[in-house]
Amino acid sequence: MNTPTEHELPLGTTAHYANMHKWLQRGLFVCLTALVLEASFTLPGLLIWFGWPTLSVVEICHELMKVRYSDDTAECLIPHPLFDPSEGVVFRKSAQDLWSIQPRPQYKRIGYRDLVRFRDERLTREAAARAVTQSQPSPATQQPLQ
Amino acid sequence: MASKPKAHAASFGAYDAHEERSAEAQRRADRWMIPGTIIMGTAVLGIIGLPIFLRGLMLQIKAAREGLSVRPVIVTLIGYLVIIDSALNSLGWMMDLVANHTLINRILTAGWGALFDGGYFWHYNELWVGGAGAPGEKAWEISLILVVFCGRLAAGIGLLQMKRWGQQWLIMFCWMGLIVWIGYNLNMTIYGDVRFANITFPVWGWWVYDIFYITPFLALPYLHTVNREIFSD
């Protein structure tokens, strides 16, 4: 018989529950290690997913705001004044939600380093809009009507 | 004096010396595990705290192998793990409750929300209390920090001291985990669109990330089957 004697068992463990306690101990050790590593790598993992170091931490905050409110002008207010309402309140109307008994957000899903792509696409759009504006003659340079 | 009482004194002396050496070995191990746990409870510094904790655990295992009367390893793991679990939950939710406009929180909590739980991304910071705006979430945060995690943390300390009240309290607070998991997940499911529509890793991602918080359900079978006489009144 390979049944462990009471002498070999940890304090408080009876032979009947020895196997269960052994597996619980293994599970607890896995949970502790996984929990700590996960908590440790969440912030750096998120930063890399979102686009750091191409984007600075502040730029990531801005890009998240633009996604949340589906508005290119939305930005984080840093530092945010104590007790002031959220900067998001201004953009509340631009958020793409399907309002019903259960609201359904329609913002863009953020894939790996998508915030960098969103930023580049926005900059391209802005540059194109500037080019269009500059190519049109301004009212001051136009000939006055005779 | 006769020699017999002397022999008794000698044996009691050996017992006392054994107790003293055991207590010193346990203290020595705890001197590593306590700071390790505090550092692991900060979340981001966990990678530094883990080897410090493991060093303490190794010292305790070594002491047990040398025949000293130290805590069972499983009790040590349960005690410190519920403390870490409580610390991580409380830290994350306290950031969401009171530090919701800090830059780090808007990346860590709201950014995590964009990936795993839209309740922490959707209209973030627009409620009068700030932080997550998902229906019901704030009520869960406040009640679980106040009622469950503070109590479970205290119970974990009592268990590590091998006190009977520590074991009894931990049984109670671990059973509360059933209400926590069922209630919290039902609330998320009922407002599933807010929580999981258009986020990066909906539902399955949340489970993969959060499954390691099932500590109470691993602790309960042990706490109910351990010989409770090892915990002192």
Output the pLDDT for position A120: 94
Q: How far apart are CA B50 and CA A14, in angstroms?
A: 30
- Tell me how far apart the alpha carbons of residues B42 and B166 are, in angstroms, rounded to a whole number: 24
B81 in contact with chain A, both atoms CB, cutoff 8 A: yes
- List CB contacts of A73: < 8 A, sequence separation 6 or more: A91
pLDDT at B139: 94
Helix, strand, or coil (residue A133): helix
Q: Which of B44, B110, B194 sits opposite A40 (nearest CB)?
A: B44
Q: Which of A70, A109, A77 is nearest to A91 (CA)?
A: A70
The whole-angstrom distance between B44's CA and the closest CA on chain A is 4
Asked whether residue A40 is assigned to any structural domain, the reply reads: no
Average pLDDT for residues B53-62, to the nearest whole number? Answer: 95
Q: Which of A10, A42, A64 sits opposite B114 (nearest CB)?
A: A64
**Quick check: B184 and B140 in contact, CB under 8 A?**
yes
A56 in contact with B, Cβ within 8 Å: no
Question: Between the CA of residue A43 and those of B156, B172, B233, what are the distances in Å?
Answer: 27, 33, 43
User: Hey, what are B88's tokens?
Assistant: 């991580």
Q: Count how many domains chain A has.
A: 1
Distance from CA of A8 to the nearest CA of B (A): 11
The answer to whether A21 contacts chain B (CB < 8 Å) is: yes
Whether residue A37 lies inside any domain: the answer is: no
Strands (E), A75-115: 97-98, 104-105
Domain boundaries, chain B: 1-70, 72-233
Q: Which of residues 101-160 of B touch A (CB under 8 A)?
A: 101, 103-104, 106-108, 110-112, 114-115, 118, 121-126, 130
Residue B126 has pLDDT above 70, yes or no: yes
Interface test mutation site (partner A, options B98, B126, B215, B220, max chain A beta carbons within 10 A) = B126
User: Would residue A15 count as lying in a domain?
Assistant: no
pLDDT in tens, A20-65: 999 999 999 999 999 999 999 999 999 999 999 999 999 999 999 9
Q: Cβ separation of A88 and B198 shorter than 8 Å?
A: no
Closest CA to B175 of B130, B124, B215: B215
- Residue B2's pLDDT is 43
Residue A21 covered by a domain: no
- Whether B1 has a pLDDT exceeding 60, the answer reads no
Residues of B in contact with A41 (CB under 8 A): 47
For residue A146, name the pLDDT band (cuts at 50, 70, 90). low
Quick one: CA torsion of B215, B218, B222, B225, rounded to 10 degrees?
130
Please say if the pLDDT value at position B7 is more than 70: no
Nearest to A89 by CA among B195, B101, B124: B124
What is the spatial distance between Cα A36 and Cα A82, in angstroms, rounded to a whole number? 32
State mean pLDDT over B152-172. 94
Range of the domain at A102: 51-125
Say yes or no for a CB contact (<8 Å) between B212 and A110: no
Q: Where are the alpha helices (DSSP H) in chain B?
A: 3-40, 46-65, 73-98, 103-116, 137-143, 150-160, 164-190, 192-196, 204-210, 215-225
Q: Mean pLDDT score of chain B, rounded to an integer?
A: 90
Half-sphere exposure in the Cβ direction for B120 (13 Å, CA): 24
pLDDT at B202 over 90: yes
Is residue A113 included in any domain, yes or no?
Answer: yes
Distance, CA of A75 to CA of B66 (rounded, Å): 61
Whether B110 shows a pLDDT value over 60: the answer reads: yes
Tell me what ipTM this predicted complex has: 0.86
Confidence of residue B3 (pLDDT cuts 50, 70, 90): very low
Q: Cβ contact (<8 Å) for A64 and B50?
A: no
**Mean pLDDT, range B222-231, rounded to an integer:** 92
Nearest to B161 by CA among B79, B58, B220, B227: B79
Between the two ends of chain A, the Cα-to-Cα distance in Å is 114
Least Cα separation, residue A29 to chain B (angstroms) = 7
Q: Find the CB nearest A104 among B44, B84, B197.
A: B197
A95 interfaces chain B, CB cutoff of 8 Å: yes
Say how many CB pairs under 8 Å bridge A and B.
172
pLDDT of residue A143: 58
Mean predicted lDDT score pLDDT of chain A: 87
Q: Does B80 sit within 8 Å of A64, measured CB to CB?
A: no
If you average pLDDT over residues B155-161, what whole number do you get?
94
Give the model's pLDDT for residue B4.
47
> Does the pLDDT of residue B96 top 50, yes or no?
yes
Which among A12, A24, A60 has CB closest to B227?
A: A12
Examine residue A142 and state whether it is found in any structural domain, yes or no.
Answer: no
Q: What is the pTM of this model?
A: 0.85
Q: In this predicted model, what pLDDT tens digit does every residue of A70-122 receive, in sequence order?
A: 999 999 988 888 888 888 888 888 889 999 888 999 999 999 999 999 999 99
Per-residue model confidence as pLDDT tens digits over B16-35: 888 888 899 999 999 999 99
Does residue B211 surpass a pLDDT of 70? yes
* Domain presence at residue A8: no
